[in-house]
C-alpha cells in the first residue's frame, strides 16, 4: 500500500512539473523589438510597459544603439507604453552605466524622442501581451 502511494505522489509531481514547464498558466511574456522614430531606429533611451490593473509594476528596458529592446516578465494583457529619450550631459549629472559606475559626461549623447511619448497618458501606445516571447516594433512619429 505504501509503495503505490509513493508512486502516485511521484506521478502527480511529474504532471505538475510538466504543466509548469509547458507554460500552462503562464502570466507573463517577453516583448522584444525595435523603437523607430519616423522609420529610423532610436539609438538610446528607455521603453516602459505599464500593465493595466491593480498591484502591477511597470517593466522597463534600455533601448540599444540599433533601436532594439527586450522587456522581460511583462504581465499578460493590455499594457500602455511610454518611450523616453536621453538628455545631454548637463541635465543628467548622476547617470549610471551598465556596470553601475558613473558614466563620463562625454558618453551621454542626447537621444531625441518627442515629448508626447514620455507619458502613457499622451503616448497613445499600447500592446496586448501574450504568454511567452513575442515581437513588437514601436513606431513613433515626430509630428
**Per-residue model confidence as pLDDT tens digits over 45-103:** 999 999 987 777 899 999 999 999 999 999 999 999 999 998 754 444 455 555 666 65
- Distance spanning both ends of the chain, measured CA to CA: 74
In a domain, 91, yes or no: yes
Whole-model pTM? 0.69
User: Which backbone phi and psi does 16 adopt, to 5 degrees?
Assistant: -65, -40
User: Comparing 21-30, 32-41, 105-114, which segment has the lowest mean pLDDT?
Assistant: 21-30
Give the total number of structural domains in the chain.
Answer: 1
In a domain, 14, yes or no: no
In a domain, 1, yes or no: no
CA dihedral angle for residue 94, residue 99, residue 100, residue 102, rounded to 10 degrees: -30
In a domain, 48, yes or no: yes
**Cα distance between residue 86 and residue 103, in whole Å:** 13
In a domain, 67, yes or no: yes
In a domain, 20, yes or no: no
CATH number at residue 49: 2.60.40.10
* pLDDT for res 15: 45
In a domain, 85, yes or no: yes
The boundaries of the domain holding residue 135 are 26-140
In a domain, 18, yes or no: no
Amino acid at each position: 500500500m505504501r509503495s503505490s502511494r509513493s508512486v502516485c505522489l511521484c506521478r502527480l509531481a511529474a504532471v505538475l512539473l510538466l504543466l509548469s514547464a509547458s507554460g500552462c498558466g503562464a502570466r507573463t511574456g517577453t516583448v522584444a523589438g525595435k523603437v523607430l522614430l519616423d522609420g529610423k531606429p532610436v539609438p538610446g533611451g528607455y521603453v516602459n510597459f505599464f500593465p493595466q490593473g491593480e498591484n502591477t509594476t511597470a517593466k522597463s528596458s534600455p533601448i540599444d544603439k540599433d533601436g532594439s529592446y527586450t522587456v522581460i516578465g511583462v504581465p499578460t494583457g493590455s499594457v500602455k507604453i511610454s518611450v523616453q529619450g536621453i538628455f545631454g550631459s548637463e541635465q543628467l549629472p548622476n547617470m549610471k552605466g551598465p556596470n553601475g559606475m558613473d558614466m563620463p559626461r562625454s558618453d551621454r549623447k542626447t537621444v531625441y524622442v518627442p515629448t508626447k511619448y514620455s507619458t502613457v497618458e499622451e503616448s497613445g501606445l499600447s500592446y496586448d501581451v501574450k504568454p511567452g516571447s513575442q515581437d513588437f516594433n514601436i513606431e513613433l512619429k515626430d509630428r
